[in-house]
Amino acid sequence: MQVTRELFNEVMVPNYNPAEIIPVRGLGARVWDQAGNEYIDFAGGIAVNVLGHCHPDLVAVLKEQGEKLWHLSNVLTNEPVLRLAKKLTDATFAEKVYFANSGAEANEAALKLARRFALDNYGPQKDQIISFKQGFHGRTFFTVTVGGQAAYSDGFGPKPGAIEHVDYNDLSALEAVMSERTCAVMMEPLQGEGGIISPTQSFVQGVRDLCDKHNALLIFDEVQSGVGRTGELYAYMGLGVTPDILTSAKALGGGFPIGAMLTTTAIAAHLKVGTHGSTYGGNPLACAVAEKVLDIVNTPEVLNGVKQKEQQFREGLNAINAKYNVFDEIRGQGLLLGCALNEKFQGRARDFLVASANEKLMCLVAGANVVRFAPSLILTDTDIQEGLARFERAVAAVVNA
């Protein structure tokens, strides 16, 4: 069968509008399409391919596990899921882990757990969930409603109730809506889809203090910021604030679908047998790959390397901006970076994305005004230099159009 972009329009639901190219092979930070064109990948599958494409250690462990066990129901447990859970709890504040297939599913579990914890401990009146405008927490109806972008949740009928949204980095706005009715506050410790917005230290600490004051759980959505992305294993570690529940996905599997919810023993106890579940959660293939990802990423070499590579990106992007004057600032942390467009180029982030693709560079946007980079954490200096050179040509093309 000949596979073309036109086939997508024939057979796929039109909720996506993919590019014309169809990648067929990847290695490290490089990707090749059907015509053999080579691209540099600064997108990482939206912060997923944390070790690039086809990392040999991940390929090896997938092949090895693929000849042992592919799937077991959760009537049984398995060795990879227990090894991975032990390593996650050893490396973080958490004592218990629940596995799912995606970030949305991990967030769904976190929100259900928060509601159940509040019900069991304080009664049915404690049901309010507060999150932040421009936040993103997934595409299930619960998580997309908690996410602070109404455009994603409008048009599907009545939404789940008792959910409030306030401005990110505005502690007084949060304080004004919190009460003893609040069961949880959900936040990204670095907003991704909302524009690569970093929190202030005082804001994060203030959110923690307000949660403690009102007996509310603090949920950190680290689906995008976790597993080395900021130069810490999880972003909370660099903020000095510990959540009650943390969600992880994207980079956790290095490209293999997996999600996780991490919490304490006392909180986890409220998801009793039968209260929640997932057919594929804790899948041996996924957990075997994720264990290897964690082994590689959670090392000083990789985590310190992320911070060094961030500086290379910032220096290169600032040099480009000095020539073309298109960005107001370079936002973010580690290898989750955003170029915020200045007033002259407002609304044109997609133009820079398209121009980059024309220069054989894969990047992302975060809204209409931010060009986003979320590459492999171990891409080489050569990849960074060549990718930035291609991005400079893309910027020049937009500016000179």
Annotated binding site for N(2)-acetyl-L-ornithine: 139, 278
Distance CA 16, CA 7 (A): 13
111 CB-contact burial (10 Å; exposed 0-12 / middle 13-18 / buried 19+): buried
Structure letter (DSSP) for residue 348: -
Other residues' Cβ atoms within 10 Å of the Cβ of residue 295? 14
DSSP alpha helices (H): ranges in 247-336? 265-268, 284-297, 300-324
Taking the CA atoms of residue 207, residue 210, residue 211 and residue 212 in that order, the dihedral angle to the nearest 10 degrees is: 120
Residues annotated within the binding site for pyridoxal 5'-phosphate are 103-104, 136, 221-224, 279
Q: b/e per residue, 237-276, with b = 16+ CB within 10 A? A: bbbebebbbbbbbbbbbbbbbbbbbbbeeebbebbeeeeb
Calpha distance 354→258 (Å, rounded): 30
Coil/strand/helix, residue 68:
coil
**Binding site: which residues?**
103-104, 136, 139, 221-224, 278-279
